[in-house]
């Protein structure tokens, strides 16, 4: 049971929500389930998350915050290609923490396909990440690619990383960490060829 006295209740509920989603999928997420796992009343959960989509939005936002924090802590060097590879590896399920995050992202993306409010959150995040990747690709190309080409390559990179991540968490051991990193390295190499 989560300890409510040392952390804000909403943070505890969000962590419980992340745990339930990662272990059992979105089907298992309910106000009742979150309340029981957190050891609080249903009313407490509804106070912080009035709808299921509000709960899911909070969970996804927290996962994105954690990924951004990790990416921000990556030490970048002069090799732009290496920097891009290092940052994109943070989006792959190369360890249990990242695998949990990917399972949550996949669940969120599936729900966003039929929930306009969640789709808007998804679109904002994808646009932000794509622009960040496009800037790095432009730097790696030393100005040989225009903004549209860099953005197109960024879309390809993000779609490929998302696809690799999806396949890794949905296929058992078909894609292990070594295969994922090798595929990413090849992808980056292809995208950065002038």
pLDDT digits (tens, 9 = 90+) for 160-173: 999 999 999 998 88
76 or 124: which leads in pLDDT = 124
| Average model confidence (pLDDT) across the chain | 86
**pLDDT recorded at residue 6:** 60
User: Is there a shared CATH topology between the 1-50 domain and the 63-191 domain?
Assistant: no
Residue 4, both tokens: 């409510």
- The model carries a pTM of 0.80
59 or 8: which leads in pLDDT = 59
Mean pLDDT of the region 111-120 = 88
**pLDDT recorded at residue 182:** 95
The 10 Å Cβ neighbour count of residue 151 is: 18
5 or 36: which leads in pLDDT = 36
Write down the residue that tokens 């060829």 correspond to.
193
pLDDT at 59 over 50: yes
Residue 187, both tokens: 């992808």
Q: What is the pLDDT of residues 11-30, one digit of tens each?
A: 889 889 888 887 887 777 88
Domain residues of the chain, as ranges? Answer: 1-50, 63-191
Chain length of the chain:
194
CATH number assigned to the domain with residue range 1-50, chosen from the 4 options 1.10.3720.10, 1.20.1250.20, 2.60.120.20, 1.10.10.60: 1.10.10.60
Q: What is the enclosing helix (H) or strand (E) of 153? A: helix 147-170
Q: Contact at 8 Å (CB) between 102 and 168?
A: yes
Task: Report the range of poorest mean pLDDT among 114-123, 158-167, 181-190.
Answer: 114-123
SS3 state of residue 36: helix
**pLDDT recorded at residue 153:** 92
pLDDT band at 129 (very low <50, low <70, confident <90, very high): confident
pLDDT band at 5 (very low <50, low <70, confident <90, very high): very low
CATH superfamily of 63-191: Tetracycline Repressor, domain 2 (1.10.357.10)
């Amino acid at each position: 049971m989560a300890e409510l006295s040392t952390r804000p209740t909403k943070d505890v509920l969000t962590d419980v929500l992340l745990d339930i989603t990662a272990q059992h999928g979105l089907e298992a997420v309910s106000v009742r389930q979150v309340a029981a796992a957190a050891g609080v009343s249903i009313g407490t959960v509804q106070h912080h998350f009035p709808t299921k989509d509000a709960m899911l939005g909070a969970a996804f936002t927290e996962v994105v915050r954690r990924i951004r924090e990790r990416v921000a802590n990556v030490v970048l060097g002069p090799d732009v290609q290496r920097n891009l590879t290092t940052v994109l590896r943070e989006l792959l399920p190369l360890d249990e923490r990242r695998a949990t995050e990917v399972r949550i992202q996949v669940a969120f993306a599936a729900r966003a396909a039929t929930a306009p409010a969640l789709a808007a959150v998804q679109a904002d995040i994808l646009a932000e990440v794509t622009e960040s990747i496009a800037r790095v690709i432009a730097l790696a190309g030393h100005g040989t690619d225009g903004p549209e080409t860099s953005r197109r390559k960024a879309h390809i990179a993000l779609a490929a990383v998302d696809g690799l991540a999806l396949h890794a968490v949905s296929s058992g051991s078909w894609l292990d960490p070594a295969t994922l990193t090798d595929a990413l390295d090849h992808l980056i190499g292809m995208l950065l060829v002038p």
